[in-house]
Amino acid sequence: MTYRRIALGIAAIMLATAGMGCGSNTLDSGELHDKVSGACDVAHKALTLVADPSGADQVRPFLNQSSAISNQLTRSLKALKPPSDTQASYGLAVQLVGEQAAILSKGAKDLTLGGDPVIVMRSVADQTTEIAQRERVTWESLGIDACANR
């Protein structure tokens, strides 16, 4: 996997979400659904371009690339202003996306500090699994399947 393809994926997220949250306009539920679904679709496609690590030397690039995409998604989602009746659930869902991005970033940092790739990957997987389940349920409650299934 080349960094160029990952960078293009991140750029695609940025383009797909450009202008989201500009001004003080609160989105209606349909607009929120469409914009969030678009952002999650683009992020999902970018994440599928990240090759699963098949060796210890590939773990850090995997974590770095995955966290970069997840961090961009988090920033894009935070820029949106959901309707008042969905603010709490939406805020929780975005928070959970951010938590997963932070775990991926921490895993990459742990490797830089000499962590064992197998142990780091297990830790990342264990931590993100529970959060991903909570995130999926939250997106489903909002009716945003594109994010629930990413």
Q: Is the pLDDT of residue 102 over 80?
A: yes
Helix pair 87-112, 117-142: axis angle to 10 deg: 170
Q: How many helices and strands (H and E) does the chain possess?
A: 6, 0
Do residues 101 and 70 make contact, with C-beta atoms less than 8 angstroms apart? yes
pLDDT digits (tens, 9 = 90+) for 106-142: 999 999 999 999 999 999 999 999 999 999 999 999 9
Do residues 80 and 32 make contact, with C-beta atoms less than 8 angstroms apart? yes
Position 111 scores a pLDDT of: 97
Q: How far is it, in rounded angstroms, from Cα 18 to Cα 122?
A: 35
Position 1 scores a pLDDT of: 44
pLDDT digits (tens, 9 = 90+) for 56-93: 999 999 999 999 999 999 999 999 999 999 999 999 99
Burial of 28 (0-12, 13-18, 19+ CB in 10 A): exposed
Do residues 62 and 52 make contact, with C-beta atoms less than 8 angstroms apart? yes
pLDDT digits (tens, 9 = 90+) for 27-66: 999 999 999 999 999 999 999 999 999 999 999 999 999 9
The share of the chain scoring above pLDDT 70, in percent, equals 84
The amino acid sitting at 16 is A
Position 8 scores a pLDDT of: 52
Average pLDDT, the chain: 89
Written as six digits, the tokens of 19 are 């202008």
Position 42 scores a pLDDT of: 96
Full domain range(s) for residue 141 = 3-148
Q: CB atoms < 10 A from the CB of 19, how many? A: 9
Number of domains in the chain: 1
Confidence grade of residue 25 (pLDDT, cut at 50, 70, 90): confident
Q: Is the pLDDT of residue 21 over 50?
A: no
Q: Is the pLDDT of residue 2 over 90?
A: no
